Structures are given as C-alpha cells and as structure tokens.
Amino acid sequence: MDNWKKAGEIASEARKFGAKLVKPGASIFEVTEKIEAKIKELDGNLAFPTQLSSNNVAAHYNALIGDTSKFGKNDLIKLDLGVHLEGCIADCAITVDLSGKNSKLVDASRNALKAAIEVIKPGITLSEVGSVISNEITSAGFVPIRNLSGHGLGEYNIHDSPSIPNYDNGDDTKLIKDQKIAIEPFASTGSGIVVEGKGSEVFGLQNIKNVRNMQARNIMKFVTENFKTLPFAKRHLLEKFNKFQIAVGVNNLVREGVLMEYHVLQEKDPSVLVSQAENTVIVGEGQTTE
C-alpha cells in the first residue's frame, strides 16, 4: 500500500486510541508515551513528538523530561500526532473536552475542517480554502487563529509549502493534484493570535557542522540517523544518553545553531480556550486521516 495512505491509517488509529486515554487525573507523560508506543506497535514512526496542549495553548505542548502534570477535569486538550513511513507523513489532531461544556467550540474547528475538505480540489486557491474555514468558525461565534495555518507535507518535511490559511489571506496560489497537505483549523474564544510561550523540549535539526563537544557530537549523530530533519523531543534521547549528557549536548547544539527549539504557542490570555481539528489530505484523492 502507498506509504502516504498507510501512514494515514496508522495516525487515525493512534488518534482514536490516544483520545480515549485523555481523562482527568491521567499523567500527561504516561499518555504521551502510550500513544507513541502505539504508533510503533502499528509499525509506524513518529513524524514529530505527540503533543497534548491544554486550554489557551494551541500547539506544541510536549511532555517534558520528568513531567508530573496531569489532565484537569475542566481541561480542553488538543491531541496532535504525526506518523511517517519512509518519510511519508500523516498529521492529524482532535480536541478532547474534559469538562463537557465546550462542545460548540470543539464543533467549530471540526466543522471548519470538514467544510474545507469538501471544497479541496485541484485549482482551488488558498484564500478560498481559508475563507471556508473562517466562515465556519465565525458563524459559530468564535475566531480563527490567523497566525497558525495548515501546511504542505513533503518527504521527511513536516512543514512544506504551501501554508493553508485559516482565513481569507488573499493568496491566489492554487492547489495542484496529488499535493499532500494538512488542514488544521483552530477556533478561539480570544483574539485569534498566538504568541510564543516557554520552550517545549522539542527540537529540529537545522544543519550539520563540526562541533567540539563530545556529547554534542554524539547527540547530533544520533539525531541525524534516527530523526533526520523531523522534530524530536529531548525525552527521546533518553534511550541512548543520560540526563547530564543530554543537557550538555543539546545546549551546545542549540548554541552552535545545529538544533532549533520549538516553543509552546498560546493565546496570551490564560482564560481563553482554543480548539483544533486536523486531517491530512491528498489533493484530488481525499483524506488519508479521518
């Protein structure tokens, strides 16, 4: 079977599995580890670390090394995961409402995703897709997050061109047949603009260069062999290195510009809630994740 579609099947199954684990009092670290183990059990590889972002955090919350946080009974959780097979990527997300009080917000992003997928075809412009997403979210009484977008998917490239806007941004670039794209509407009760928060302990390889520090050299080699250009979590290094080696090596690689750390993306106001829905689509063929 085509690796793009097989990755989509694995991602879909892992998302369903993971959503059932998101419960009040459950350990975020343990749920993350179980989801990632499930992906590997299904013969998939991680396209990026599994993210479990809560409430006003829209994206990039990753379980940290030693993370003791747990899901709260009123949390709104975005489960975002990615699977790859030989670099062919499926990216998907779902929102889990632990309070049971935010169904309209959850539906806003989910319905926007559904509406966008229905109009996706070769020749449609990015602004037209963005308009469909925005109209669906605003008609529900919420705001689309304008500085987050969907994206193209390339082999070993989680954020390829084009950017798929969540509003009409005037971009008349047309989608073409067989493009692989991730559509991911975010609906917010706030301003619709996210800012960078704290570091996520998720890193991406920016370049390969000679570094003097031994720990840094060893970690760079491990990352290159195991993740290539795909994002990875600091906790993923624990299978090979101890905490001291990781701390010294990663800090050195960031300082040298070899690694870039991703930051949590959040609405500035902590009282704001954000929902997310995401599926991967092959233009002209439909969804690979459902």
| Residues assigned a catalytic role | 80, 91, 151, 159, 184, 278
50 neighbors 15 (Cβ within 8 angstroms): no
DSSP state of 20: H
DSSP state of 72: -
244 neighbors 228 (Cβ within 8 angstroms): no
**Phi, psi for 64 (deg, rounded to 5):** -80, 165
C-alpha angle 109/16/230, rounded to 5°? 80
User: What is the layout of strands, in order, in the sheet containing 194-205?
Assistant: 57-59, 259-267, 194-205, 232-233
DSSP state of 212: S
Query: Per residue in 198-219, is it b (16+ CB within 10 Å) or e — as a string?
Result: ebbbbbbbeeeeebebebbeeb
In angstroms, the CA 243 to CA 234 distance is 9
